[in-house]
Amino acid sequence: MLSKFRVFVINPFWLRFVPVRFVKTKSEIDPKKFKIAVVGAGSWGTAIADLLACKGFQTHLWVFEKEIKDHIQQFRENKLYLPDHQLSPNLSASNDLADVVSHKHLIVIVVPSHVMRNVTRQMAGHLAGGTIITSASKGIEQKTHLTMSGVIKENLPEVEADRMTVISGPSFAKEVAQKIPTSVTVACRNPEVAARVQHVFVTAYFRVYTSNDIVGVELGGSVKNVIAIASGILDGLGMGLNTRAALITRGMTEVRRLGLHLGANPRTFTGLAGFGDLVLTCTGNLSRNYTVGIKLGKGKKLQQILAEMHMVAEGVKTAKSVYNFSRKLGVEMPICHEIYRILYEDLAPKEAVYRLMTRTLKQELDQD
């Protein structure tokens, strides 16, 4: 429940007073007592862990690779995934997953979608009662077509449904680490838990909104990666801004169709986890999915592109999930289907554009 009072803080980036709302439970969150674990030390996981550590929370980061853990502990830097950024002394790294997640009030899970099931299975049995889970991972599991919160619920049944939260929005890890103003959304079916997580994360440069639409927030964050590959392909082919604007708009129509079919709030897709994240990922050079698309458009093969990357482009796997899931549900998603064919059936990008542009003519707006 939001307080009627507002506290004003000076934002050094905008050089003006910015109102920040606090919930009544704000005073209960003592950084010295509130224990946090972050599972996953990729660029986004490391940036989140550092953000929380910089707020004064003693933050425990689970790292898969021993050499990265050692480097973080010795040099205060994740040289592979977030280079040239000095990490807070309040952040500690470990390869012991059970130890990291034990006795924590909040666990933020930030692992690639294809390892989510295995990692959460290893976490089972080690969580304290009443632990809040926040998923910051984006993707749809290929075999089950579950979003990441669905995978977590299957493997961690001890986590209460109203303590399962997800966080998403337009947020490149590098910019968050540099404390560049960023806004995201945290969703939970329990508004009090959403507000609690909101206040754990919020800073003068990291603004957090709340939502009760877990389905919409997760789908917006997942499917946009497929559309981002398409956007990169267009730029790789040398097509213009008209084409990209149309792609982003029609891409969001596809995200919305799938979301409505699964019970999401349509308004979610006009917000940060919807259009906000889609626009960022489809236009930003820091986007791995957009970069994969550019290389595809220039003629490189997918396997060669992936072999040259040390970070995961979630849209590649999500494209297969969305293709199979949407066909199963009977949801029309032509852009996502063409990207699947480019990635997995070796369809020429130019041919895919032609196929999309010469589809049967129809009204722009869906009837629902």
Catalytically active residues, by annotation: 224
Inter-residue contact 220 to 272 (CB < 8 Å): no
The two structure tokens encoding residue 141: 């599991």
CA gap 165, 36 in Å, rounded: 14
Q: Directed axis angle between helix 191-201 and helix 43-54, to 10°?
A: 80
14-to-29, 47, 56, 181, 203 alpha-carbon distances in Å: 27, 22, 24, 9, 14
Question: Tokens 């999500």 sit at which residue?
Answer: 318
Query: Please, which residues bridge with residue 37 across strands?
Result: 60, 107
Those residues with Cβ within 8 angstroms of residue 149's Cβ, 6 or more apart along the chain or in another chain = 135, 164, 166, 214, 218
Inter-residue contact 87 to 78 (CB < 8 Å): yes
Q: What letters, b where the CB count within 10 A reaches 16 and e where it falls short, cover 100-114?
A: bbbebbbbbbbbbbe
Inter-residue contact 217 to 168 (CB < 8 Å): yes
Sequence length of the chain is: 368
